[in-house]
Every structure is written in C-alpha cells, then in structure tokens.
Amino acid sequence: MPPRALPNESAELVEHEVAFQGYFRIGRYRFRHGLYQGGQSGIIQREVFERGTAAGVLPYDPQRDEVVLIRQFRAGAYVAGRHPWMWEIVAGIIEPSETPESLVRREAVEEAGIELREVIPVHDVMLTPGACSEGCVIFVGHVDSSAAGGVHGLESEGENILVQAVSFAEARTMLEHGEIANAVTVIALQWLALHRDEVRARWR
C-alpha cells in the first residue's frame, strides 16, 4: 500500500532536462511543491541520479539454516573511501519486460548459480530519495544452499562475484560487527531475524 499523503503534500514538475547521459543518467529537474504552513514553494532545482527500480533477494535454506551472500567490487564504495568489496544479496535492475520476482529469479542463477523456490516479499524501499530515483523490492527466497559457492556473474557485464553460504548465526554476527554495510542486505537480514521462526515453519 502506498504511503498516505498529508495535507498540502503536492508537487508540480516545472521543467526537466537530461544533464548527463553515460553508463548512468542524471536528470536536472525544477519543481514547486506545497508547504505545510500553506501556499506553494518557489521553484527549486535538483539533479537526480536516475537508476531505475531494482529488486533483490536474500536466499535462505531453512533446513540448513543458511543464507547465501555474494561479494563483488563496488565503484561507489571505492569512491566513498570504503573497502570496495561488499557482502550483498542477489540483486539487479528490473528490465521493462520483467516483474521484480522474475528479475530476482534470473539474477539468482546469473549471480549465484542457484534456483529459487518460493519467494516472500519483504519491503519495497527507496534507497537515497534525496538524490536518486532508485527503489528496491526486497524478497527472501527459499533455496537449497548445499551446492552454493564459487565465482559467478556475467563476464560480458564485468561481473566477478564470489558466492558463499553462511549460517544465519554467522550472518548476524557479521551484521553486528559491521562486516555487512550494504543497506538492502541489512534490511533483508534484519527482516529474517524478526521472522525466521515463521519462515522456517512455512518452508519445513
């Protein structure tokens, strides 16, 4: 269900242009919007990183009580001065012909070499709404983690992805020690921590 709008939360697009088009696109927008005290704002200008909508899945094996995590180089983390290899969940950008579920099923095979059984929707979130249009639909997916591992990804897309199955207890420890710093992965693991008993009962 979409969030409820509060009084005077309306916005008008005044002008839009493409400020940059490369591997990604940046749009330059001019808006005016309602003010909580009444009336309208002046025209404000913002540049927005236009990424599209993503979907991600935390693969979970309830019999082995393991999650499957992936690790790869991330340019944004490098530029931010962080260690650029990060633990993450399987994810990708949704193509026009795909649903979020079909995307995570495809990416699970491409990025991790695993097949998803049932998937459970977790959240549909905006990642950095002040500057980026990207949202992410998050799932937990039922998998057999016994054969998960190795290096995967599409060489044509420059992917070099380490795949590792870890116990849920180890994943929680990694989370608590700051070894997992990817926001979508944090959300998925914390959701599983809250709902793990019911997920295991459902996937017995």
pLDDT digits (tens, 9 = 90+) for 83-98: 999 999 999 999 999 9
DSSP line for 17-48? EEEEESSSEEEEEEEEEB-TTSSB---EEEEE
- Please say if 157 is a catalytic residue: yes
Distance CA 139, CA 147 (A): 21
Instruction: State yes or no: pLDDT of 15 exceeds 70.
Output: yes
pLDDT of residue 79: 95
Domains and CATH numbers, the chain: 11-50 (no CATH), 53-202 (3.90.79.10)
Question: What value, to the nearest 5°, has the Cα angle with vertex 63 and ends 61 and 69?
Answer: 25
pLDDT confidence band for 100 (50 / 70 / 90): very high
Minimal CA–CA distance to 190: which of 125, 132, 145?
125
Q: Which residue in 66, 157, 170, 179 is the catalytic one?
A: 157
Q: What is the pTM of this model?
A: 0.92
pLDDT confidence band for 158 (50 / 70 / 90): confident
Q: Over the stretch 31-42, which tens digit does the pLDDT of each residue have?
A: 999 999 999 999
Q: For the chain, state the CA radius of gyration.
A: 19
Distance CA 150, CA 146 (A): 12
Minimal CA–CA distance to 141: which of 176, 174, 106, 186?
106
